[in-house]
Amino acid sequence: MVIDGNGTFVSQRTFPVMARIRPQLTERALVLNVHDTDASLDIPYEASTVRERVAVRVWQDRFMARDEGDAAARWFSAILGAAVRLVRFDDDVTRLASKAWTLDADAPTQFADGFPLLVTNQASLDELNARLEGKGAPAIPMDRFRPNIVLSGLQAFEEDFIDTLTINGVVLRIVKPCARCPITTVDQEHGTRDARWPNEPLDTLLGWRANPRVDGGLTFGQNAIVVEGVGGELRVGAHADVEYAFADDFPD
């Protein structure tokens, strides 16, 4: 996670250029490259030195993390044009998703906004793109929504009514509609907004996908937690068994 001088996380909301940073997992390190440049940073999985613990904040959650050192800070500061630092999640820390949504279940997460997983549906994107193209705006790819899991074989927005997904023995429970922020308006390849359509897809979602369960937020996708099968693997193309919830089952 990248933080500012106060320890608060920063994201594409403030720095759209972050979309151009490409992560790659190798056997020994996380390798970061910047699209269309020679900028590169290797972050070894194993620490060569003891990292300093620093106080960080993600929205309302405050906890400790491990600083990744001056070299990483200089690299990110140069890319973003601001004084920032890179931190790693501390193995000694437990951060839980909001129990107001997890029905009191302990659902560990790390630096994500609030939940460990985001589930979307290809048919929902197809419906959104049909509406965009109907008004003359360009279609957008799924990476605008940055999901962990993309479902196919469902009707558009059928994910709104799912209770659990079972994939390769891993049981995920859908817990909260995901209210979307301006990051959805950022082209994830170039880190820019369309000059003609700078507020899409939010303008199209407005009035159609406003959800009272999240104070009128414009929703696309569902946040999920793992309830069984921790340590299992999810793979592209795997079959998902779906169980549905009824409206009375939703938390207030």
- What domains appear along the chain, each with residue ranges and CATH number? 2-93 (no CATH), 99-249 (2.40.33)
- How far apart CA 44 and CA 188 sit, in angstroms, is 25
Give me the phi and psi of 105, to 5 degrees please: -75, 145
- How far apart CA 80 and CA 40 sit, in angstroms, is 14
- How far apart CA 239 and CA 235 sit, in angstroms, is 9
- pLDDT value at residue 183: 97
In 3D space, the residue among 165, 153, 155, 154 whose CA is nearest the CA of residue 117 turns out to be 165
- pLDDT value at residue 147: 98
- pLDDT value at residue 151: 98
Where the chain has pLDDT below 70, the residues are 48, 247-252
Alpha helices per DSSP H over the chain: 70-80, 99-102, 122-134, 202-205
- How far apart CA 119 and CA 126 sit, in angstroms, is 15
Helices vs strands, H then E, count in the chain: 4, 16
- pLDDT value at residue 49: 74
Give the tokens for residue 214: 């999240």
Give the tokens for residue 149: 């899991």
Beta strand 149-151 with 117-121 is parallel
Rounded to two decimals, the pTM is: 0.92
- How far apart CA 65 and CA 92 sit, in angstroms, is 9
Which of 126-142 are b and which e, b meaning 16 or more Cβ less than 10 Å from the residue's Cβ?
Answer: eebbeebeeeebeebeb
- pLDDT value at residue 178: 98
- pLDDT value at residue 248: 57
